[in-house]
Each structure stands twice: as structure tokens, then as C-alpha cells.
Chains A and B, each alone.
Chain A
Amino acid sequence: MTQGGPQISSALETRRSGAIGAPVLAIESSCDDTACAILDADGRVLAERVHTQREHDAFGGVVPEIAARAHLAALPGLVEATLRDAGLSAPDLGAIAASTGPGLIGGLIVGSGVGKGMALALGLPFIAVNHIEAHALSPRLPGVVQGGAPFPYLLLLVSGGHCQCIAVEGVGRYRKLGGTIDDAAGEAFDKVAKMLGLGWPGGPAIEALAREGRDDVHPLPRPLLGRPGCDFSFSGLKTAVAQRLAPYGAGALPRRDAADLAASFQTCVADVMVDRAAHALDLLPEATTLVVAGGVAANGAIRARLMALASERGLPFAAPPLRLCTDNAVMVGWAAIETMRAAAGLGRWPFDDTAVRPRPRWPLAEMAERFDVVR
């Protein structure tokens, strides 16, 4: 017994300091989906699994799988299966990462709790990843953007839950240039789709219907268009659509009218998006790339307008594939790798985030504290 102690602790020391070249296992559980991924030290994805309940809510936009209990039920099996897919066993890993915020606190506690437990049991460092930071760094995953999205770049993160312009200036160095003051863009799509009697998710449904309609029949407001800065607001637009629909009452909405409204709404969002992105680029004149991430980037009309903006500015346009834009563990693993590399570059590796507590809110600006980056 007394002989075992020092040996074990010295083995732990070796593992904790020598972990940087080995694969990273990452956990994502900040919202509805439970996900696990394993990346090698260069960021290549060795295995990836997502446990989702989306197949149940094709109708209604309801997400039943919100419970921390569901994450807890799914996660251990998911981790084992991902390790098996990668052909690895737990002792082959070099670090464990988990998103620890922002998000739903129950899922965050489960994901980071499982991650910390594994790290502790295996004697590995634990890396706490900010979920938004993971989105912000995802364009730098090998193979996603030609040339690798060098810093600084502008990230337009537009999804169901997020809507913000972020200057990504380095690992740990993010500036939120603007964000929504009410609804997220994807949320506006979902809600307007619901009002038009369309299915969920609303984005693809509105885009399809908009192709049949004219976007100049229903004048809708363009919230914040032309205003300084790059904040967004979609609540008033949603209300304007509701007002347009009010005269129809509870009766069926003629398809032509629904199509015209869908087209008008989509053009409105595109106008606002381009205007806000242009303002954001003015605020970050040294941007190397315009990166658009999030489900809304999958909308062809909006995407085309943003591509045109990038080309006007002589910038490459990049949109990471959708599977990287929705909640996933690959981006969490990549953010951990970038963090480990940056820390090593500053002589701050190894470090351990076991003491970092899950946080429902975690502003990106606070990420600099990890490296005490002087701005």
C-alpha cells in the first residue's frame, strides 16, 4: 500500500503533463442533444456520436428531451460507443473536454460531471469549453475552411438559440460586436413558420414556401436596418407578420398569401443580416474571412446574400457544414485542442479545469482570463 501511493501519483504526473499529443474525448450536453467525439491531436475526428430525440418532434416544434436525466441516461453508453468506434480504450486518451456553459444547467452539470469524473479516474487534464467559443473556433477545424480561417475573422453565429457577431481574434480572444436584443434569427424562422401553419424546423419550410411567393407584396419592417453597430432584433418582425395574419382569423390561410408572406419575411431577414454583417465588418476591418455558422446559414437565399457581401469586400466566405453548426462534440474537442496548444505556447500547459463550475451564462469576453491575455 505505502509503495503503491507514490508510484501512482508519479504516473498521474506523467500523464497530466504528457497529454498533449494524445486523443481528446469531448462531451457536449448544453441543450437538447447529448454528443461525444474523439479527435486526435491534429483535430482529425476519430469518432463521433450524437444522441438526439429530434425524430419525435417532426410536428409542433416541441423538444421533449430537455431533461438532465436524459443526458445522464445517454452519456455513459455514448462515451463507451464512441471509444469503441475510434478503436480506443480510455487509457489511450490524453485529455477530457466538456462544454461547461453557457446553456441549460442540468445538461451542463451532467456533461461536465461525467467529463471531470473520467479525467479524475484516468489521471487526465479536464478542459472546460465555452460552448459559444467552440462555435467560434469551429471554422479552424482542419478541412473546414480552405486556408484554415486565420485570425482575426468575423463570425456571424445565427441559429435557433444564438444570433451574434463575434470578432474572433485568437484563442481565448473574442469580442462580441453585437447580438440580438430579443429573438434569435432561427427562432424567428421557427415562430413565423408556426404562424403560417408550417412544420418544424421552420427554416427549410419557409425557404421552400418562399420560392412560390413574391417578396414585395407585404411590406414588413427591417428592424435596426441602417442603425449603427450590429445588434439584431427580430421580435418586431415577428409581430408584423402576426398583424398581417390577424385579418385571416382562424380560417385557413390561402397558400398564395402564405407564400408571399414567407418570401417577404425571408427577404427581410436577409436584408437585416447583410446590413448587420456589413456593419460588423466595418468594426473589424482587419478581418480575413467572413464566417457564417448556425442553422440559418443553411438558408440558400440568406447565404447567397452574405456571399455577395463577402465578395464585395474581397473576403473569402466560409460556412462550416451544418453538422458542425448544430450542437456537436467535435467543435468542443477542437476548442479544447486549440486551448491546449495556446496554453502550451504560453508555457501554461498542463492546466486543469476541474474546478471550473458549469455556468448557464458565460460571456465570451471572460475567456481571456484563462490566459490573462492583455488587450
Chain B
Amino acid sequence: MPERLITLPGPGHTDALGALVARLLRPGDALLLSGPMGAGKSAFARALLRALSGDPALEVPSPTFTLVQTYDTALGPVAHFDLWRLGDAYELEELGWDDARQGIVLVEWAERLDELTPSPALELDLSLDAHGGRTARLVWDDRALALPSLPDVATP
């Protein structure tokens, strides 16, 4: 699977990446986000959902406590999962994982999916350095190559 390494100097770049990936999505896609706390998984998810819904002010609360939030978008339903609190992957089935897979799933802490890990999928691993910079390692089908480079974004 093609792989891209993308440098994200500031939070605006994480948002821009979310919006760019949103343009390439198709119904049934699975997006698996990993990386430590504070690396920008939720920020990426928020930007992507806002782009998909066409609403730049769309409320995208952290799904940590509700475990999953569902959004209606032009590409059908998108289920935004956060597996941080999850004990076992089997609990996902109780959260409607199978139904959610009919649409797009966007999963934070995807490393906890274990044997439920969908394939093929977009895998995005975010890392954070001590100076606030981030790196995104993106593995996807041919769309990884179709992803344009990030537009210039003002860094605060």
C-alpha cells in the first residue's frame, strides 16, 4: 500500500489534511487514526467531518465518553469512534460496529480494534515532537498518491 509522510508544522495543517482526505473519501471507507494523546487525532477528525458535512462550524465533540458519534453527510452516515475507554474489541459489536461499517467509520485509538481491524483502510499515524510540530504517516490505497500537497496555512 502506498505510504506518505506529511509534515504538519501547526494545527492548521492538521485541519487542512483532514479537509483534503475528506475530498477523496467514498462510502464504506474506514479511517484508522493512531498516535499519542495530543497528537491531533480529534482535530483531524473534526476537520474531516466539517469538510464532509459542508458545515465549517459543525459541532464535533470528543467522542471519548460517548464512544461513538454519528454524522449524516453527503457520503452517507459517518461514525466517529473513540476506543480510548474500550476494554475489549468485542464491545464494539455492542456499539453497532457492523452497522457503522455500512457507512464510513472514523476511528481514534484504532490500535485497539485488534481482529476487527478493517482492511483495506486508511491508516493515519500522528506523532508529536517537543516543539509542537507533528508528522503524519499515511498508508492508503492509490488515493494516498492522489492526495495533493498541503496548502500553505498560517501557523499561529
A residues near B, CB below 8 A? 31, 57, 61-64, 66-69, 103-106, 160-161, 180-184, 187, 191, 194-195, 235-236, 238-243, 246-247, 360
B residues near A, CB below 8 A? 11, 36-40, 42-43, 46, 59, 61-62, 64-70, 84-88, 91, 94-96, 128-132
CB within 8 A of B66: which of A161, A236, A239, A241?
A161
Shortest beta-carbon distance, A355 to chain B, in Å?
Answer: 22
Residue pair B37, A194 in contact (C-beta under 8 Å): yes
For the A-B complex with A235-B62, A239-B128, A360-B70 known, give 14 more contacts whose Cβ atoms are closer than 8 Å. Answer: A57-B87, A64-B88, A182-B43, A182-B61, A182-B62, A184-B65, A195-B37, A195-B38, A235-B43, A239-B132, A240-B38, A242-B36, A243-B131, A247-B130
Number of A-B contacts (CB under 8 A): 90
B127 nearest in chain A by CB position: A246
CB within 8 A of B85: which of A61, A181, A182?
A61
CB within 8 A of A160: which of B65, B94, B96?
B65
Residue pair B91, A64 in contact (C-beta under 8 Å): yes
- Could you list 7 examples of A-B contacts with CB < 8 Å? A104-B95, A161-B65, A184-B61, A238-B38, A239-B38, A243-B132, A246-B130
Shortest beta-carbon distance, A112 to chain B, in Å?
Answer: 17
A162 nearest in chain B by CB position: B65
Residue pair A242, B94 in contact (C-beta under 8 Å): no
CB within 8 A of A63: which of B69, B87, B131?
B87
Knowing A62-B85, A161-B65, A360-B70 touch, does A183 contact B42 (C-beta < 8 A)? yes
Shortest beta-carbon distance, B55 to chain A, in Å?
Answer: 14
CB within 8 A of A238: which of B37, B46, B68?
B37
B90 nearest in chain A by CB position: A67
Residue pair A66, B91 in contact (C-beta under 8 Å): yes
Knowing A187-B65, A242-B128 touch, does A67 contact B94 (C-beta < 8 A)? yes
Residue pair B37, A242 in contact (C-beta under 8 Å): yes
Residue pair A66, B67 in contact (C-beta under 8 Å): yes
Q: Report B-chain residues with C-beta under 8 Å of the C-beta of A181.
A: 59
Shortest beta-carbon distance, A179 to chain B, in Å?
Answer: 8
Q: Report B-chain residues with C-beta under 8 Å of the C-beta of A191.
A: 37, 64
Shortest beta-carbon distance, A60 to chain B, in Å?
Answer: 8
Q: Report A-chain residues with C-beta under 8 Å of the C-beta of B94.
A: 66-69, 106
Shortest beta-carbon distance, A272 to chain B, in Å?
Answer: 16
Cα distance, A105 to B128, chains bound together (Å): 34
Residue pair B88, A183 in contact (C-beta under 8 Å): no
Knowing A61-B85, A66-B95, A67-B91 touch, does A241 contact B38 (C-beta < 8 A)? yes
B132 nearest in chain A by CB position: A243
Shortest beta-carbon distance, B79 to chain A, in Å?
Answer: 11
